[in-house]
Amino acid sequence: MTTMKTTGTAGPSSKITVLSHVKYEHLVAGMSGGVASTLILHPLDLIKIRFAVNDGQSKTTPQYKGLGNAVVTIFQKEGARGLYRGVTPNVWGSGSAWGFYFLFYNTIKTWIQNGNTKKPLGPTLHMIAAAEAGILTLIMTNPIWVVKTRLCLQYSDLDTTKLPDSKRYAGMMDALNKIYRNEGIRGLYRGFVPGIFGVSHGALQFMTYEEMKNKYNQYRKSPIDTKLGSMEYLSFAAMSKLIAAAATYPYQVIRARLQDQHHDYKGSWDCVKRIWRFEGLRGFYKGLSANLTRVTPATMITFLVYEKVSHFLLTFRSSPEFTN
């Protein structure tokens, strides 16, 4: 692997590689934030997915009049457990995705900075680091998202949907096994192409979040890696998520429909054409209100927990008690 000399805190004579910047603290902190937000807000994620796959033509798909009606209907027909269908793969998926994303992103970013965390990168390099981290994370977690989507779309009256046994799942491991056995690797990577486009969502969000933090610290005349207060983290996380979600939401609708066991599309382009033909532009934004209601507080929780946990772990690592 190519090495380079540092110009930052590691000293001018030190040799560094990308791997020298891997810190498990970012993985643990990211997983903590992802799991916390998922456990609290999973019902909204489930409703968002059900709105997204409702093309208005399938008679087997439950019809909801709105977010409130969806919560009440699911609770009445499926009980409290129905609101948490697919929570296991969602916890695994969200926890691992956020953990790997923060790990990859901070590793790549610190490598670009040559180990000097006080060196500002600017919007372009932030976007590049976030995009690379997003692609690596998607490769590792796409099968989990397929399973989560399918479990969220198992309705209480499943026997009336006339699905074969190969598309009825008893849980996360059963779903992974059946999808792989009946659809192969390709089945586990359904929705991967729109997921690649979705990397732009994470890249835009992280770029906005990082730039907000940097500009704020520069305004305060502080180093860009200075720790902020909880309200600053929450505000910047919310604003960055709203901007990214509004700009890139359609890919989530396409990905959810490609992963839905109740629909058969020939591919991403076929899905796009059918949505446009039968539902128009509005079809690409189905579930947006439920999504924003969920992702905004979820992102705020995730980023706040991540910032607090990573700061604690990194401070502990540099403490005399740890180094001794």
pLDDT at residue 306, rounded to an integer? 93
Q: Which of 83-92, 155-164, 166-175, 299-308 has the highest mean pLDDT?
A: 299-308
Question: Token digits for 268?
Answer: 């991403």
pTM listed for this prediction:
0.70
Distance CA 162, CA 33 (A): 39
pLDDT band at 322 (very low <50, low <70, confident <90, very high): low
Q: 4-5 and 15-16 as β-strands: parallel, antiparallel, unpaired?
A: antiparallel
Asked if the model's pLDDT at residue 262 lies above 50, the reply is yes
pLDDT at residue 12, rounded to an integer? 42
The predicted-structure confidence for 33-63, as pLDDT tens digits, reads as follows 999 998 888 888 888 888 877 766 666 677 7
Q: Calculate the alpha carbon distances from 273 to 7, 81, 220, 277 in Å.
A: 51, 35, 50, 6
Asked if the model's pLDDT at residue 128 lies above 80, the reply is yes
Domains of the chain: 23-316 (1.50.40.10)
The predicted-structure confidence for 4-25, as pLDDT tens digits, reads as follows 444 444 444 444 465 666 788 8
The predicted-structure confidence for 216-235, as pLDDT tens digits, reads as follows 999 999 988 888 999 999 99
Contacts with 306 (C-beta within 8 Å, 6 or more apart), sequence order: 29, 30, 32, 33, 98, 102
**Region 175-203: what's the mean pLDDT?**
88
Q: Which residue has the tokens 């604690």?
A: 312
Distance CA 309, CA 272 (A): 41
CA dihedral (221, 222, 224, 228) in degrees, to 10, reads -120
The predicted-structure confidence for 66-102, as pLDDT tens digits, reads as follows 778 888 888 888 888 888 888 888 898 889 889 999 9
